[in-house]
Structure formats: structure tokens, C-alpha cells
């Protein structure tokens, strides 16, 4: 498989990979559950409660991913003098806070 240099990538430890995939699997299951509720014509407030839970789970995933990014990629780039990484982090935070 050829790789282009058009995107950055990150090598993750097995532990980090498993944690992130597990969180995403839970979110995926919640979304499938919500779809099933809609298909079964569940009561709107019940569906909305599950939507709130899925949003919270996805936010938890994002927080974990962001924290790991800061601890690894950002910290390493700053140590090696790549200050543009700070601008990238600020732009990412702006996107998350919309």
C-alpha cells in the first residue's frame, strides 16, 4: 500500500488504540440503538435521552483523543521546536468549541 505525504498520521500504542476503538464501538452501538428506537416508533423523549447519552459518549471520546494528542504529538513537536503545532492546536480547539 503506497502512502502519500498529504496527511499526518500517528502511531498509537496497542493500549491507546484499544481504548479509542472500545469507546467508538460503544458510540456505534448507541447509534444503532437509536436507529432501532426510531424504527420501532419509540416515544420521542426516550429517543432524545439516548441521543444525549450518545453525544456524551462521543464527547468523552473526543476529550480522550485530544488529551492524548496534547501529551504526545503536541508536546513532542514543541520539544523539537515546531511551534506551528501550537497554531494547529488552537485551530483544532476553535473547531471543537463551535
Q: CA–CA separation, 13 vs 19, rounded Å?
A: 10
Q: CA–CA separation, 74 vs 91, rounded Å?
A: 13
Q: How much is the pLDDT for 85?
A: 94
Q: How much is the pLDDT for 6?
A: 54
Retrieve residue 28's grid coordinates: 456505534
Residue 72, CA distances (Å) to 33, 87, 90 in order: 34, 16, 16
Residue 30, SS3 per DSSP? helix
Q: CA–CA separation, 83 vs 77, rounded Å?
A: 7
Retrieve residue 36's grid coordinates: 432501532
- Per-residue model confidence as pLDDT tens for the chain (98 residues): 444 445 788 889 999 999 999 999 999 999 999 999 999 999 999 999 999 999 999 999 999 999 999 999 999 999 999 999 999 999 999 999 98
Residue 22, SS3 per DSSP? helix
Q: How much is the pLDDT for 4?
A: 47
Amino acid at each position: 500500500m503506497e502512502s502519500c505525504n498529504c496527511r499526518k498520521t500517528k502511531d498509537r500504542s496497542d493500549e491507546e488504540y484499544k481504548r479509542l476503538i472500545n469507546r467508538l464501538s460503544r458510540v456505534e452501538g448507541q447509534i444503532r440503538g437509536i436507529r432501532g428506537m426510531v424504527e420501532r416508533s419509540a416515544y420521542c423523549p426516550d429517543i432524545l435521552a439516548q441521543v444525549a447519552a450518545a453525544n456524551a459518549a462521543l464527547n468523552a471520546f473526543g476529550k480522550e483523543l485530544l488529551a492524548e494528542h496534547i501529551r504526545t504529538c503536541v508536546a513532542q513537536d514543541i520539544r523539537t521546536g515546531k511551534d506551528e503545532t501550537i497554531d494547529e492546536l488552537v485551530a483544532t480547539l476553535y473547531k471543537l468549541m463551535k
